[in-house]
Structure 1
């Protein structure tokens, strides 16, 4: 390509013939003036400057024309590898992920789970057991119970079977239990007295609980005269009046036994033997007090025998009936009659053997055991 400086005279006419006329006349027309000619009119002027004239390119000079730089802040069009780095406008858009519907009858593509490290388990704070101290008193303001208390600690919430699980127990008067913080049910038993309470074990300090047991105690003994009745021959029954209803508190209590009972009034029945040697007494038991009661029986232990002669051997196959003077039956027996305890008084003994009846009156004196013989003759 060559650059040439030229001065051109241009004439514009209405047709191509005017250009030839102008060349032949050789007249110079002043710039900017209008001149008429054959076939019309023309304008004259002069253009000066540098012009790039196209010439056949030489080998090796072929290349892309220079591109204008875009204004600041404006990314030019994508021109491939010759422009700026690739800019994908779709990357900035949040498009939904569309999964084509499976064809009818096609098996779903299994999803391979992503193998990721499981989250680290949270480290729980260690549970520190706290002490629970228990004690019991005789009533709200009574002295502390020194012994004889059975303690049991249960969960406050039942399990699937509706039962409260026992977590601790002790026979100490003032036990200590180390338990997890939370709620519990404490059950205390003192003889025939029991009570329960909900207790909450604190998480950061010991818990002290004192439970009230309105209880007293009874110890009974039986005498005939000045002699104690052997324990295996006497028994006590305790009853109390509960809102007009007589309820049995304890049965067959042996002499000398310590009976822990709720505070209140009791009716005591002492039975010496299994006949009519009965003594009844009323007792008032206060909380924290021990009542020691002695029951005196006026009775004796009697032995009845049917013999052929005084001092002889006892006749077998004999039935017996013991009556009071008023005809009340005290005791009946088929076969040999064991020794019988009878209250002081008069009685009638009737023996039956081989269809025959034998009868004899006798008396009982308190404290004097005796043998009564009936003879066949």
Structure 2
């Protein structure tokens, strides 16, 4: 009996010593980073419990092992190696896509693809959406696929209503009949031929013809099946002007013409500074022509008629001559510089007033007075101009 009591005392002492040996390890585990709650966790029991052979007293609470690197052991719980401390996963740059799919606190984690962004998983019970049926391309109507056949448009121009064809000099342009957003019609084709031929798409157009200062326009429609021919009437005539002085022709640079026309009682200039020999294509009608020889008073005015489809040649004869003025101290002497001039008619009309030397001047036939001003003094002389006789007039300073 005493032997059994002694054996019981030895077993109790061993149990007490084992309890003291576990206590320091439990405190160390509680003080480690990430340990949840105070005190030791109760040992697991029941089905599925396993023996922990490591020198730790109790279990570590919290979720540190859930967001840290996964352990190699399997099962509901895994112990930490005695030689390692748990890593502080809250400050470790771990990617979420490195966590193995699992159930955390009853929440099913999605399967994360490390190669792409996070995507919500498709529920297994959700039926897949049927693939859209391939759309059949609508077959174009035969009218749209049929090629557009261009049709020819032949154009001619005539003088007036006498059907005399314009031999040339017409500028043809074809525009769209509808303007764009800027109010302008799109240019489709153009030609300088006397009788052009255009290949155009069926539709409506505006044909515009310009012959010198004459123009005409007409709306035309191009049929999709038949060619078209159109005639435009240009009520125009031609005029060519030339100038003479006596029986001689002066240099073209010295003569010019200005044409004007009466429009509703008001004279409007039609052409200015026209040189001799230039062909003018004008609307038929009456014109007033002013011919200037030089830039003084040698002018000739005439009224003439331009007929449709006819060329009118008009010659203007001037009665004038160029004159050169010189101030000298003696006849035939050198010209005195820094001289101003004034040319007067016998009636006192000023023809020319210059500051400084006066170059050659063209004056109409007649009598004149030349006044020279030099060095605060005035000198004058009367002289006459005869048609076609160029003369040098000397004024003596005395």
Same fold (TM over 0.5): yes
**SS in structure 2 of the partner of residue 275 of structure 1:** coil
Structure 2 CA distance for partners of 1:122 and 1:324, relative to 1, 3 Å: same
**SS in structure 2 of the partner of residue 227 of structure 1:** coil
**Aligned equivalents of 2:181, 2:222: Cα separation in 1:** 23
Aligned residue number for residue 217 of structure 2: 196
**2:125 pairs with 1:135:** no
**2:134 pairs with 1:122:** no
Are the aligned partners of 1:192 and 1:262 in contact in 2 as well (CA < 8 Å)?
yes
Alignment equivalent of 1:299, drawn from 320, 323, 333: 320
**Aligned equivalents of 1:280, 1:271: Cα separation in 2:** 9
**2:397 pairs with 1:376:** yes
Matches within 5 A, 1:264-343: 264-343=285-364
**Aligned equivalents of 1:190, 1:371: Cα separation in 2:** 46
**Aligned equivalents of 2:305, 2:255: Cα separation in 1:** 22
**2:389 pairs with 1:360:** no
TM-score, normalized by length of structure 2? 0.66
Q: How much does 1:309 deviate?
A: 2.2
Aligned residue number for residue 256 of structure 2: 235
**SS in structure 1 of the partner of residue 164 of structure 2:** coil
Aligned residue number for residue 224 of structure 1: 245
**Aligned equivalents of 1:299, 1:151: Cα separation in 2:** 44
Structure with the higher fraction of residues in strand conformation: 1
Equivalenced residue count is 269
**2:265 pairs with 1:260:** no
Q: How much does 1:324 deviate?
A: 0.1
Alignment RMSD, CA only?
1.5
TM-score, normalized by length of structure 1? 0.69
Matches within 5 A, 1:1-40: none
**SS in structure 1 of the partner of residue 267 of structure 2:** strand
**SS in structure 2 of the partner of residue 228 of structure 1:** coil
Structure 2 CA distance for partners of 1:119 and 1:304, relative to 1, 3 Å: same
Aligned residue number for residue 74 of structure 1: none
Structure 2 CA distance for partners of 1:364 and 1:110, relative to 1, 3 Å: farther
Q: How much does 1:326 deviate?
A: 0.3
Q: After TM superposition, what 4+ stretches of structure 1 lie above 3 angstroms from structure 2?
A: 109-115
Aligned residue number for residue 348 of structure 1: 369
1:8-64 superposed Cα distances (whole Å, 9 cap, x missing partner)? xxxxxxxxxxxxxxxxxxxxxxxxxxxxxxxxxxxxxxxxxxxxxxxxxxxxxxxxx
Q: How much does 1:310 deviate?
A: 1.9
**Aligned equivalents of 2:396, 2:130: Cα separation in 1:** 111
**2:197 pairs with 1:176:** yes
Matches within 5 A, 1:74-113: 113=132
**SS in structure 1 of the partner of residue 253 of structure 2:** helix
Aligned residue number for residue 244 of structure 1: 265
**Aligned equivalents of 1:212, 1:116: Cα separation in 2:** 58
**SS in structure 1 of the partner of residue 178 of structure 2:** coil
**Aligned equivalents of 1:356, 1:371: Cα separation in 2:** 22
**SS in structure 2 of the partner of residue 232 of structure 1:** helix
Aligned residue number for residue 186 of structure 1: 207
Q: Which runs of 5+ in 2 are unaligned?
A: 1-127
Are the aligned partners of 1:142 and 1:288 in contact in 2 as well (CA < 8 Å)?
no
1:251-273 superposed Cα distances (whole Å, 9 cap, x missing partner)? 11111110110000011100000
1:292-343 superposed Cα distances (whole Å, 9 cap, x missing partner)? 0110000000011112222222222111110000000001111111111101
